[in-house]
Structure 1
Amino acid sequence: MAGIEFRSSPVFAAIWKALNKKSETNIASHYYKLIVEEGGSRSTKTWSNFQALFLYLFENPLSSVTVLRDTQKSCRDIVEKDWKQWLSDPMVRKKEYDDGKIAVDEFDKFLQTENLKQYLVENKTNHTWTFKHNGNVIWFTGLDDENLAMGMTQTICWINEPYSFQYDVYKQLAMRSKVIIFDWNPKQNHWVENEKAKETTFVHYSTFKDNPFIIPETKMQILSYQPIHRADAVESGIISKDKAFSYDFEANPAELTDKQIRELKRCIYNEKTGSASEYDWDVYGLGKKSEKPNKIYKGWKPISLEEYKSKDYQKFYGLDFGFANPSACVEVMYDGDVSIYVRQLLYKPMRLMGASTLGDNLLHAGVPSGNVTYLWADSSDKEAGSDISQINDLRKFYKINAVPVNKPTYKERFDFISKFNIFYTVESIDFAQEYENYEYEFINGYPTEKPIKKDDHLMNAFEYCMWGMKNYLNIRV
């Protein structure tokens, strides 16, 4: 690395150390299979990954990296674009120039001599970057080219902002990679929480405060989200939220420190200008999970599969058909009072079921045949351009007691279901993600009282089952 320099943050140091830790039993193997970087926005997670991956590929022959987002376009328009910017200015000379520390001629000279693109060959068609001295490659792509992406074998796979990645996709990638890097702002429940508990997972937390290169405008934008009740003087109980608005800063009766006063003044300003947002402060400022304010359902609780199986209540089923989107099936139990227990059984598009059918998949997942219970299904059960009724097929060929649900309005289903205590199994990963992201639609700032129609397949299956149970059991709550 003689002659190659870049400025880094503490985040890089932590990731680089974890990436290079070796197995105690095999020094050729990595100790950590998964590196999880989480925290707030602008904490240098992305740039630290560029630095770690560049350095790793530079020093380790016969290595490769695949960088993935949900789509090729977003990976290349966002991540690869940032990669190019980092290569062009690894010493952050632009900030020095903006701060008036160097003149324009010095700035241009630094960019010419320090530019790391000189060590790489870019293939603009394939979006690959090859190191000249050893042939190692970094490739930017997305899961919309799933067959290609899933068929690749690489030393390191970096999954950037993986909110839409299914757990099955991760498992396939993990089998084809020595190390997975996973970076995100943890704003929702996600299957990665289970992976974080493993001994072979390294978790690193960071916020914008760890970024010595953050521009003032970005820092102020993030700080503008902080609400007054999250100011240290209020959170610590020195003063109440109500008194904070009228606090006498001149007299300073609570003897607040200068730092506490500056923070409190800023938070008061945030509240007055309407920029304060607890959700935005938690997610983008502190990098913590927070419940979205526009969520349709709230307060649902995860339980273990063992606890779920210990409940001896009658089982019912809900089904939402999906041909290109996932076909979603849930199993639901009702305790006769106000508690509902739900478990995800199926989440797979019919077009990806291969030689097996939807009926085969439902039976394999645990839906019983015969007139032993009900499976309430979406009444829209025909694929575009087809006259085949999926409900009729399930009844005729698989003896599944599938019946079309008389779909209620959104308001009716939301009002009814919100009256229950809902418990879902922790291994129902797709269900948990849909629950977290099931939000009301807003147009020009006004609610439509409808959900955003995106990844709501298990939510719909659950709603169909709940409405079927309501009518069948004559539930009144």
Structure 2
Amino acid sequence: MNAAINFKASPVFARIWKALTAKKINEHGKLEHVYNLIVEEGSSRSTKTWSDFQAIFLYLFENPLSSATVLRDTQKSCRDIVEKDWKKWLKDPMVRVDQYERGQITAEQLDEYLKKENLYQYFIENKTNHTWTFKHNGNMITFTGLDDENNAMGMTQTICWINEPYNFSEDVFKQLAMRSKVIIFDWNPKQNHWIEKKKILPTTFVDYSTFKDNPFITAESRRELLSKQPVKHSEVVKLNLISEAAAKVYDIAKNALNFTLKQIKELARCISNENQKTADEYNWMVYGLGLKSENPKKIYHNWKAITLEEYNAIDEREYFGLDYGWAKPTALVGIKYDGDRTLYVRPALYKPMNAMGETPLGEYLIAAGFPSGAVTYGWADSADKEAGSDISLTNDIRKNYSLNLQPTSKPTYKSRWEFFTKMKICYVYDSNFEFEYENYQLEYIGDQPTGKPVKKDDHYMNAFEYGGWGIKQYLGINL
């Protein structure tokens, strides 16, 4: 085994490693970690992921009786994305492939370096269980997902790395925190996330990074990110040295305001971005700067996530909304109304009909909580004909399963958006529902809105709108 371990690292690794290894003596005279939560946030290509690989590798290499679990929302995404990148880093920790592509080393030198420097040699890989065990001390790294609850929630570990944790509820986080000495939480920030209240605790270390912290970023990736920067976010405008409007038509060659060379280069690039229509404030804020920002094209705002227990505690009738999908998900939601401007939503079914096998949709609806008989109401997509048929799915379900389901009146987009914007919406946390909520946005052609949504990933949103509008009409809600 090699005597020395070498890998190229960015300033992000240095900061994370310092936080991860910081120890103190507690009131019982025992050594413990200073930080039990490390939050990494920032832009794309800032080396957060590779820095975490390096920190976990080195910590487990140096500390016996340690382990790490790497988590995403699903096993598949964890293994297809994170573990795949892990293997790539192990095989090229000194970034030799980049040197070769830049013409700095030959193909023969590349092969020699990769053979000598790879860190794969330190592990026994179990390809079935997706575990990596250090040969010299038995420490283990496991790649898994929340869909394997026995693994994800039953294991204890020294380090739990939650990668891209948008679909993790606070309750899941609490369970993981009880089973881990340190949690690493890396993400590109988004609005209204429960992690914000954890960030202010003295036992939390927060590291902010951007692509500018990455000395290994490719020229292509850097150009792509910089192409999103609008004039509004150039230094001269941010410092109020010039207005945004004046900056957009500023004579770069004359430079009458004597901006520095760095400022002029940045402003020229931002003006070019505006002219070429690549400038995008939202994408620059989120992916360039790694800051929280809400998509300006987003249709709904300020919805609140709740638990299923909170939903069940609401003693009101549950109504239903249904959006049909054959190759795309059929979505069902339960909805309760408190009588005072608040709708509570329970995501109940999200499955394409072509994936339901021999089980009829009606049975799926009943299993998801839609009761038989005249005890409630449900509203379904009025475009409910089976492909190549005149059979009405809604009529078929009413007849065969006694579900009180009827076609929605399908109001205009403008009408439904105006109504729901005036309501307070609380939803039981669900990864698919939250993804749709965050990405349900107005369609634009050029710079002009069409008055319609982008017809993509809107199945839960449609089911909610059908059911919510049905409740409005049935109860006569006027705002």
TM-score by length of 1: 0.75
How far did 1:16 drift? 1.6
State the one-letter code of the partner of 2:90. L
How far did 1:52 drift? 0.5
Contact 2:72 2:162 (C-alpha < 8 Å) held by counterparts: yes
- Tell me which residue corresponds to 1:367: none
Tell me whether 1:435 sits opposite 2:398 in the alignment: no
| Pairing partner for 2:258 from 255, 258, 272 | 255
Give the whole-Å Cα distance in 2 for the aligned partners of 1:201 and 1:58. 24
How far did 1:418 drift? 2.4
Give the whole-Å Cα distance in 1 for the aligned partners of 2:264 and 2:46. 25
Contact 2:331 2:459 (C-alpha < 8 Å) held by counterparts: no
Contact 2:169 2:429 (C-alpha < 8 Å) held by counterparts: no
Contact 1:22 1:30 (C-alpha < 8 Å) held by counterparts: yes
Closer, same or farther in 2 for the Cα pair 1:221/1:147, shift >3 Å?
A: same
- Tell me which residue corresponds to 1:50: 53
1:42-441 to 2 correspondences below 5 Å: 42-295=45-298, 297-300=299-302, 319-320=320-321, 328-329=333-334, 331-332=336-337, 340-342=341-343, 346=346, 377-378=378-379, 387-389=400-402, 407-409=408-410, 412=412, 415-418=415-418, 420-423=421-424, 435-439=437-441
Deviation digits for residues 394-416 of structure 1 (CA, Å, limit 9, x no counterpart):
xxxxxxxxxx676242x536533
Compute the RMSD of aligned alpha carbons.
Answer: 4.4
Closer, same or farther in 2 for the Cα pair 1:448/1:74, shift >3 Å?
A: farther
Deviation digits for residues 365-415 of structure 1 (CA, Å, limit 9, x no counterpart):
xxxxxxxxx976445999999955566xxxxxxxxxxxx676242x53653
Alignment partner of 2:412: what SS? Answer: helix
Structure 1 runs not aligned, ≥5 long: 306-313, 352-357, 363-373, 392-403
Alignment partner of 1:418: what SS? Answer: helix
State the one-letter code of the partner of 1:202. F
| Pairing partner for 1:34 from 34, 37, 44 | 37
| Pairing partner for 2:472 from 457, 469, 474 | 469
- What is the percent sequence identity of the aligned residues? 49
- Tell me which residue corresponds to 2:8: 7
Give the whole-Å Cα distance in 1 for the aligned partners of 2:8 and 2:429. 42
Closer, same or farther in 2 for the Cα pair 1:452/1:159, shift >3 Å?
A: farther
Closer, same or farther in 2 for the Cα pair 1:54/1:325, shift >3 Å?
A: farther
How far did 1:448 drift? 10
Alignment partner of 1:254: what SS? Answer: coil
Give the whole-Å Cα distance in 1 for the aligned partners of 2:268 and 2:137. 55
Alignment partner of 1:58: what SS? Answer: helix
Give the whole-Å Cα distance in 1 for the aligned partners of 2:280 and 2:85. 28
Give the whole-Å Cα distance in 2 for the aligned partners of 1:168 and 1:269. 46
> Paired residues, what number?
435
How far did 1:151 drift? 3.0
Closer, same or farther in 2 for the Cα pair 1:85/1:301, shift >3 Å?
A: closer
| Pairing partner for 1:25 from 1, 24, 27 | 27
How far did 1:132 drift? 0.4
Give the whole-Å Cα distance in 1 for the aligned partners of 2:207 and 2:466. 38
Deviation digits for residues 15-41 of structure 1 (CA, Å, limit 9, x no counterpart):
222222346335444343322211100
Give the whole-Å Cα distance in 2 for the aligned partners of 1:176 and 1:41. 29
Contact 2:231 2:267 (C-alpha < 8 Å) held by counterparts: yes
Contact 1:157 1:180 (C-alpha < 8 Å) held by counterparts: yes
Alignment partner of 2:148: what SS? Answer: helix
Deviation digits for residues 268-302 of structure 1 (CA, Å, limit 9, x no counterpart):
1112222111111111101122222442x244376
Give the whole-Å Cα distance in 2 for the aligned partners of 1:457 and 1:375. 20
Give the whole-Å Cα distance in 2 for the aligned partners of 1:20 and 1:427. 37
More divergent stretch after superposition (205-214 vs 415-424): 415-424
Contact 1:89 1:111 (C-alpha < 8 Å) held by counterparts: yes
More divergent stretch after superposition (377-386 vs 240-249): 377-386
Give the whole-Å Cα distance in 2 for the aligned partners of 1:29 and 1:386. 64
Give the whole-Å Cα distance in 2 for the aligned partners of 1:147 and 1:204. 31
Alignment partner of 1:111: what SS? Answer: helix
State the one-letter code of the partner of 2:86. W
Closer, same or farther in 2 for the Cα pair 1:382/1:61, shift >3 Å?
A: farther
Give the whole-Å Cα distance in 2 for the aligned partners of 1:454 and 1:199. 39
More divergent stretch after superposition (150-159 vs 115-124): 150-159
Alignment partner of 2:437: what SS? Answer: helix
Give the whole-Å Cα distance in 2 for the aligned partners of 1:117 and 1:2. 15
Contact 1:328 1:348 (C-alpha < 8 Å) held by counterparts: yes
Alignment partner of 2:132: what SS? Answer: strand
Contact 1:88 1:111 (C-alpha < 8 Å) held by counterparts: yes
Give the whole-Å Cα distance in 2 for the aligned partners of 1:127 and 1:243. 56
Contact 1:434 1:459 (C-alpha < 8 Å) held by counterparts: no
Contact 2:413 2:451 (C-alpha < 8 Å) held by counterparts: no
Give the whole-Å Cα distance in 2 for the aligned partners of 1:434 and 1:189. 15
Deviation digits for residues 194-225 of structure 1 (CA, Å, limit 9, x no counterpart):
43344433221111011111111111110011
